[in-house]
Amino acid sequence: MNYLITIAYDGSKFFGFQRLNEEKSVQKVLEDALSKINKQSVVVKGAGRTDRGVHANGQRVSFKLDIDISEEGLKRALNSLVKPDIYVKEVKQVSDDVHARFSVKRKKYIYKINLGEFSPIINDYVYQSEYKLDVEKMKEVANLYLGIHDFHNFVAGEREDYTAIVYEIEFVMDGDILNIIFEGKSFYRYMVRNLVGMMIEVGRGKDSTSKVKEMLDSKDEIMGYTAPACGLYLENIEY
């Protein structure tokens, strides 16, 4: 049986999604729980390998089980083993060709910035800027990211192809929290954090939009700023 589940998790409690030896990761907790339910080893595939400190409200994970168990039964059993740092929101039995990563059509990420007074209570869940940010300047940077670009200066690690499509970037205020919402086909390692990082640098007046244009157009390696992981959320995956 092939399953696709939707999960939420508190990234501050994990060393990222991907299994890393004995360190606590989302993949390890899920695989250990599913192997216990299945009574045999289970390997899971995530739609996105979120980094240490990155949160999720709508991460998708696929896996195969040997046992016959209902969707609701599997949801209850999993949640009894993975709460409180992970919560299974939905379980669906799907056809064998569905893969959490390779079947993705669209991803949504949200980056949260506290523009108000510093709060230690939310420090693991938002980026709290030491500087006053010009949100209108940040929107100018966002407009440069839209469409198809070679994002090699915004991605960590080596890839054969750095081309990606950013469909939309929306700015929404919720009290003092600025939510920057990204929607696109693919987001590579550190990409959203680097995109936001340059928004922050321009918003605080340290860099200009001309540097962002150069980073998008130049084949040379140009260093930017990486926003902290704590403000980033994998919000939704569409198939």
Report the catalytic residues. Answer: 51
Q: Backbone dihedral region of 223: left (phi > 0), alpha (psi from -120 to 50 degrees) or beta?
A: beta
Q: State whether residue 74 is helix, strand or coil.
A: helix
Which burial class, exposed, middle or buried, applies to 196 when counting CB atoms under 10 A from its CB (0-12, 13-18, 19+)?
A: buried
First to last CA, the chain: 19
Q: How many C-beta atoms surround the C-beta of residue 70 within 10 A? A: 10
Which burial class, exposed, middle or buried, applies to 37 when counting CB atoms under 10 A from its CB (0-12, 13-18, 19+)?
A: middle
183 bridge partner residues: 108, 168
Q: Which two tokens stand for residue 135?
A: 């949100």
Residues 6+ apart with CB under 8 A from 179: 110, 111, 112, 171, 172, 173
Cis peptide before 84 (omega within 30 of 0): yes
Residues 6+ apart with CB under 8 A from 173: 179
The length of the chain is 239
